[in-house]
Amino acid sequence: VPTFKLTIAYDGAAYAGWQAQPAVRTVQGTFEATLEKITGESVRVTASGRTDAGVHALGQVVSLVLSTSLPPDVLLRAFNAELPNDIAVLSAEIAVDGFHAIRDARRKRYRYLLHDGPVRSVLWRRYCWHLPYQLDEGAMHRAAQGLVGTHDYSSFETSGTERLTSIRTVFALSVTRRPTDELLSRADQDLPLVAVEIEADGFLYNMVRAIVGTLVEVGRGTQTEAWPAEVLAAGDRRAAGRTAPPQGLFLVEVQYDPPTKGG
Amino acid sequence: VPTFKLTIAYDGAAYAGWQAQPAVRTVQGTFEATLEKITGESVRVTASGRTDAGVHALGQVVSLVLSTSLPPDVLLRAFNAELPNDIAVLSAEIAVDGFHAIRDARRKRYRYLLHDGPVRSVLWRRYCWHLPYQLDEGAMHRAAQGLVGTHDYSSFETSGTERLTSIRTVFALSVTRRPTDELLSRADQDLPLVAVEIEADGFLYNMVRAIVGTLVEVGRGTQTEAWPAEVLAAGDRRAAGRTAPPQGLFLVEVQYDPPTKGG
């Protein structure tokens, strides 16, 4: 009975998040229905973590156990032939026995894209948060460094999910202006996006979006660069900025320990 | 009575093309309804040309005559506040009297994006044609040069629209592989796109999409580099490749003569 590790991507726009729920379209539900269609097996699949409604994934990792053996490349092609075109399997491999996409995850990296400019982009709008004022990405980056480290991130957590502790370690948090290629814009229509990249050993519910909403207050000049660290220290969600909308958020990568000898 | 020249962008996915038609959602219909909401005037707007269902515009040009004077920047902001978020006005100016977006257009530039790779991109899929095999963009570019010049492009025309002549001048036609920035992909998931750019004094119905469908046959190796020029010479639509799907096509730019003194 092989355990598979799949890396998948999805556009979250049409889904009520990852987790299967009755009567709504979710990525997990769609994925499991496709798996049943391919293999005839009704199997639960495990992702490294839930993503919320409207959030995208560039590299979500999924584990699943099938009772029949199947070459990974056959499984990959069968998935990509049967899945709707807003979900894709990027890679498939046999994992060590007992591999579990949640429990074994060590680090995750998220990206959040902001577009600051007077006119929205009709093509990028699905993948960023449009703000009609200029952001100071340097101030945002400096302010963000006060959120790096091992801390209680309660100030950046939307309540409602169970977890043992709200202490997490943020390894890196950067805010940079990224010139976009000109494929989806005109040469005379500059469209620089501001990217927030954050890597941690885990994330609380809505943590990235609350951090982004807080950093945006610094970027627009309504709060000081010292403020995000003060919000962190307050330990109170009401101290932080608003929750940034979902369409700008991407789960980029999930890191695991190198595989050890299978049992 | 001022004549306005507006440059607009739209995501064509949700529209049955530019041209207003009864009972379907079109860009023109949406635009005119918004204009009436803003100004109270029921006015017909003129675009440089129709775009088909699903085709995008990065820089469509529109002319319209209002009976009341209104500063262009006020009109721009009012449009962007009231339009759905898949249409945007990029710039607005007062044109010389009598300016007409179709009649006065001198050159147009279109872009077509192709993604050649084994797995579709869930985020780029809205803006490209995914082909599951590798394209030879150098062969496509060389073949494309046989289509440049002043010719009868009947072979690349879908019949059904009235026009005086099927002779057009293609000034430039390039096929290049364009590395995308990594904002919508992972660093380890290479996503090079092949861009076809074509500039002409005008285009027949479906001309760009028929040219792309023809060049793709060269790129995948099923036809020689000499073949597109032979298709052109045949003067027969049945000689050409298939019509590429709409979501990869963008109207990038429309060029006009420099404005002369207004009348």
User: How does pLDDT run across A177-224, given as a tens digit for each residue?
Assistant: 987 777 787 766 667 899 999 999 999 999 999 999 999 999 999 999
pLDDT below 50 — which residues of chain B? 262-263
For residue A81, the distance in angstroms to the closest alpha carbon of chain B comes to 10
Nearest CA in chain A to B123: A11
Taking a contact as any Cβ pair under 8 Å apart, which residues of chain A between 23 and 52 contact chain B? none
Q: How far apart are CA A120 and CA B45, in angstroms?
A: 22
Chain A residues whose CB is inside 8 A of the B180 CB are 181, 183
For residue A236, the distance in angstroms to the closest alpha carbon of chain B comes to 32
User: How does pLDDT run across B145-204, given as a tens digit for each residue?
Assistant: 999 999 999 999 987 677 789 999 999 999 999 877 777 877 666 678 999 999 999 999
ipTM of the predicted structure? Answer: 0.87
pTM, rounded to two decimals = 0.92
A17 and chain B: CB distance < 8 Å anywhere?
no
A108 and chain B: CB distance < 8 Å anywhere?
no
Q: Show Cβ contacts of residue B162 under 8 Å, excluding neighbours closer than 6 positions.
A: none
Percentages (nearest 5) of helix, strand, coil residues in chain B:
25, 30, 45
Nearest CA in chain A to B117: A90
For residue B14, the distance in angstroms to the closest alpha carbon of chain A comes to 12
Of A11, A181, A189, the CB nearest to B123: A11
Neighbouring C-beta atoms of residue B165, cutoff 10 Å = 10
B81 and chain A: CB distance < 8 Å anywhere?
no
Q: Say whether B185 and A58 touch across the interface (CB within 8 A).
A: yes
Q: Show Cβ contacts of residue B74 under 8 Å, excluding neighbours closer than 6 positions.
A: none
From the candidates A11, A52, A104, A116, give the one annotated as an active-site residue: A52
Q: Side chain identity at B151, as an amino acid letter?
A: H
B247 and chain A: CB distance < 8 Å anywhere?
no
B86 and chain A: CB distance < 8 Å anywhere?
yes
Q: How far apart are CA B214 and CA B200, in angstroms?
A: 18
Q: Say whether B90 and A125 touch across the interface (CB within 8 A).
A: no
User: CA A69 → CA A3, A72, B255, distances in Å?
Assistant: 9, 9, 60
Mutation target to probe the B interface, by most B beta carbons within 10 A, among A58, A83, A85, A255 is: A58
B119 and chain A: CB distance < 8 Å anywhere?
yes
- Per the document, the length of chain B is 263
In the numeric block, the tokens 């097996």 are attached to A41
Percent of chain B whose predicted confidence (pLDDT) is above 90: 81
Per-residue pLDDT tens listing for chain A (263 residues): 899 999 999 999 999 999 999 999 999 999 999 999 999 999 999 999 999 999 999 999 999 999 888 899 999 999 999 999 999 999 999 999 999 999 999 999 999 999 998 888 999 999 999 999 999 999 999 999 999 999 999 999 987 677 789 999 999 999 999 877 777 877 666 678 999 999 999 999 999 999 999 999 999 999 999 999 999 999 988 899 999 999 999 999 999 987 655 44
